Amino acid sequence: QDIRECPGPLGTLTELNAAVKEKFRHLRDRIQELEQMAKEQDKESEKQALLREVENHKKQMLSNQAAWRKANLACKIAIDNSEKDQLLQGRDSLRQRKTTKESLAESASNITESLMGISRMMSQQVQQSEETVQTLANSSRTILEANEEFKSMSGTIQLGRKLITKYNRRELTDKLLIFLALALFLATVLYILKKRLFPFL
């Protein structure tokens, strides 16, 4: 069936035939094994039954070989006819090519104009790309400058934080000194009052 429906070329048909030959060889070997097995049987009835089966297989193989040859012949005829049709179509196409030179020239001119249009569009795209790259470069420069400003502002903020921390510490120290001075003053006043009011103590 595969050989009968083979569309070609002859190389494909040759590969299919090689595969079929291999299958026939394998089948022939199996039939010979079955025949040898029949000859080795002790019972005559079993021997005759196997030999009849061997004959049936041989007839079937011969029938398949005949069908194979017919399929090969039909396939080769179909491939030859197909190749002839292709040759005729090739000649017709050559005639058509000769008669359509003007249309081909016009098509070539149209293609050239289209290519020129595409070239102009590509040039515009390249110019736009250059402008975009320039814009990106300017934006990158602006971002870098802003980053530098942020770094300087960060340094200023850190310096201010240090100064505030230092002032807070100084304020705490001043409060502590004032408290100690006030305590000393109160102690002095109490001591004087004690000496004036209670001299016997």
Residue 88 corresponds to which tokens in the numbers above?
A: 């005729």
- pLDDT value for 107: 65
* 184 pLDDT higher than 90: yes
Phi-psi region of 9 (alpha: psi -120 to 50; beta: other; left: phi over 0): beta
* 63 pLDDT higher than 90: no
pLDDT band at residue 136, thresholds of 50, 70 and 90? confident
Report the chain's terminal Cα–Cα distance, integer Å: 141
**What share of the chain has pLDDT > 70, as a percent?**
85
Contact (CB, 8 A) for 79 and 13: yes
pLDDT band at residue 176, thresholds of 50, 70 and 90? very high
**What share of the chain has pLDDT > 90, as a percent?**
7
0.75 exceeded by pTM = no
CB neighbours of residue 3 within 10 Å: 21
* 172 pLDDT higher than 60: yes
Q: How far apart are CA 2 and CA 11, in angstroms?
A: 14
Q: How far apart are CA 74 and CA 55, in angstroms?
A: 29
Residue 199: is the preceding peptide bond cis (ω within 30°)? no
**Could you tell me the residue ranges of all domains in the chain?**
1-90
- pLDDT value for 177: 93
Summarize pLDDT for 76-128 with one digit per residue, the tens: 777 777 777 777 876 655 566 666 667 666 766 777 776 776 777 777 777 88
